[in-house]
């Protein structure tokens, strides 16, 4: 049943090589392409990776990488590799000038019923697999215009504080920076994103 999978992956890799050699299209640099052979509606999807740090023992320039995986931990990620990256630690091209929310602070905000607009900036197909109740999906990536974020915030609660959320807190920080540069006030983002939410708040949340 899984015999064709290596062929599919090999074809995808060949296509990426062709794009690089011919300068055609957009290569998947900095992106992890995932393939689910058993999916009936979304067999492929892409995850934007945070940039590496030169001083990181796992993804940096050194040769002494320490690969520490745990088979018992289904959420092995950059922290398990010794790379404790966050939006502030992954060499962002902006300075954090807005109040970031810890997942504990945001959980309290939701629990207390504080009015706000929650914008989830992950890709639509990832948002559709799992999201926090009340979240509005506005896909965003670094370099995008914040216009769609502003429009969505105005449509769902003009004048209310905006809380931005993504998987790990990197893209939401970029979105917050874009909004601040556009002159939008009352902007927050959730530090650590949904990974931190699952780790510290809701262990049952299915990270997508």
Q: What is the pLDDT of residue 67?
A: 41
Check: CB of residue 191 under 8 Å from CB of residue 105.
no
pTM beyond 0.75: the answer is no
In 3D space, the residue among 208, 4, 169 whose CA is nearest the CA of residue 90 turns out to be 169
What DSSP character marks residue 190?
Answer: B
Number of Cα atoms under 13 Å in the Cβ half of residue 129 = 15
Kindly give the interhelix angle for 147-157 and 170-181, rounded to the nearest 10 degrees. 90
Per-residue pLDDT of the chain (208 residues), as tens digits, is 667 888 888 898 899 899 999 988 888 877 778 887 877 666 777 666 666 666 665 566 554 444 443 434 433 444 444 444 443 344 445 567 788 999 999 999 999 999 999 999 999 988 988 899 999 999 998 889 999 999 999 999 999 999 999 999 999 999 999 999 999 989 999 999 999 998 999 988 887 5
pLDDT the model gives residue 87:
36
Of how many residues is the chain composed? 208
pLDDT value for 95: 65
Domains observed in the chain: 4-81 (no CATH), 103-200 (3.40.250.10)
- Residue 188 tokens read as 């927050």
DSSP characters for 115-160? Answer: --EEEE-S-HHHHTTS--TT-EE----TT--SHHHHHHHHHHHTTS
> Is-contact 24 18, C-beta < 8 A?
yes
At residue 50, the pLDDT reads 61
Look at residue 162 in the predicted model and tell me its pLDDT.
Answer: 97
What is the reported pLDDT for 131?
92
| Interior/surface letters 82-93, b for 16+ CB within 10 angstroms, e for the rest | ebebbbeebebe
Nearest to 192, CA basis, from 158, 167, 175, 174: 167
pLDDT of residue 55: 61
Compute the radius of gyration of the chain from its Cα atoms.
Answer: 18
């Amino acid at each position: 049943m899984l015999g064709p999978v290596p062929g599919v992956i090999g074809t995808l890799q060949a296509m990426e090589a062709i794009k690089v050699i011919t300068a055609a299209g957009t290569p998947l640099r900095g992106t992890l392409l995932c393939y689910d052979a058993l999916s009936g509606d979304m067999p492929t999807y892409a995850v934007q990776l945070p940039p590496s740090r030169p001083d990181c023992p796992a993804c940096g320039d050194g040769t002494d990488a320490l690969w520490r995986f745990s088979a018992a931990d289904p959420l092995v990620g950059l922290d398990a590799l010794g790379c404790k990256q966050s939006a502030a630690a992954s060499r962002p091209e902006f300075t954090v000038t807005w109040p970031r929310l810890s997942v504990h602070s945001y959980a309290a905000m939701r629990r207390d019923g504080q009015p706000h607009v929650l914008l989830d900036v992950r890709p639509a197909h990832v948002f559709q697999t799992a999201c926090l109740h009340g979240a509005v999906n506005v896909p965003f990536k670094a370099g995008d215009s914040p216009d769609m974020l502003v429009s969505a915030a105005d449509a769902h609660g003009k004048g209310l504080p905006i809380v931005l959320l993504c998987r790990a807190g990197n893209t939401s920080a970029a979105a917050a920076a874009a909004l601040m540069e556009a002159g939008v006030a009352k902007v927050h983002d959730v530090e650590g994103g949904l990974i931190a939410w699952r780790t510290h708040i809701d262990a049952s949340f299915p990270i997508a």
